[in-house]
Amino acid sequence: MKIIEIRRHSIRSKPGDHLSQQGVTLARLVGENLGPFDKVITSTLPRAFETAIAMGFAVDEQLVLPNSTGDDVQEEIPWPQTFEVYAKAFRRGGAVTKYGRKLARLYGELADFLADGRSALIINHGGVAEIGTLACLTGTGVEVKGEALEPCEGIRLYYDDEKVVRAEILRISK
């Protein structure tokens, strides 16, 4: 089994791109119980990169794809939404579906990179994490439900034979 852990970035100082001190503290606390990871990928936005570093992980790669869902997705379904609402939008076959499939390919390639029993971490953003997860679950019979992810929350996808066989939502207790 291979594990891809997808996390939303920590708390930022709005409207800025950087984490607040509260965000650094939260990421440190969450990071204490994570890993190890064979590969760490973040979006190219500072708050995602800073979250990985604050969690205690070196970043192996930064990618543009997980930066944002994009305007076409936001027009179709503005963030934030529940997993159920994103799933409904994904089934319509529009911008959400196209973007989700790109993310699912990225996650699948990452799973292919990993040896059995190994794991990787991806830090991205609200909406991106939910849509990518739902795309990976299409046709697997695995479901996730609930509210949109809060800062540092995420999903753990378990891959076996190149497909997701289980998904676990990772909530932060408050």
Average pLDDT over residues 146-170: 95
Q: Pick the more confident residue, 138 or 24.
A: 24
Domain ranges of the chain: 2-170
Summarize pLDDT for 101-134 with one digit per residue, the tens.
999 999 999 999 999 999 999 999 999 999 999 9
- Give me the pLDDT at residue 13, please: 87
Distance between first and last Cα of the chain: 31
- Give me the pLDDT at residue 174, please: 62
d(CA 65, CA 84): 23
**pLDDT range class, residue 145, cuts 50, 70, 90:** very high
Average pLDDT over residues 146-172: 95
Instruction: Report whether pLDDT(162) > 90.
Output: no
HEC-encoded secondary structure of 41-67? EEECCHHHHHHHHHHCCCCCEEECHHH
Could you give the 3-state DSSP secondary structure of residue 168?
Answer: strand
Could you give the 3-state DSSP secondary structure of residue 171?
Answer: coil
- Asked whether the whole model's pTM tops 0.85, one would answer yes
Q: What is the CATH number of domain 2-170?
A: 3.40.50.1240
Distance of alpha carbon 169 from its chain centroid, rounded? 11
7-42 CB burial, b ≥16 within 10 A, e <16? bbbbbbeeeeeebbeebbebbeebbeebeebbbbbb
Summarize pLDDT for 6-62 with one digit per residue, the tens.
999 999 988 889 999 999 999 999 999 999 999 999 999 999 999 999 999 999 999
HEC-encoded secondary structure of 102-148? HHHHHHHHHHHHCCCCCEEEEEECCCHHHHHHHHHHCCCCCCCCCCC
Average pLDDT over residues 126-148: 93
**Within 13 Å of residue 127, how many CA atoms lie on the same side as its CB?**
22
Summarize pLDDT for 67-110 with one digit per residue, the tens.
999 899 999 999 999 999 999 999 999 999 999 999 999 999 99
d(CA 106, CA 53): 22
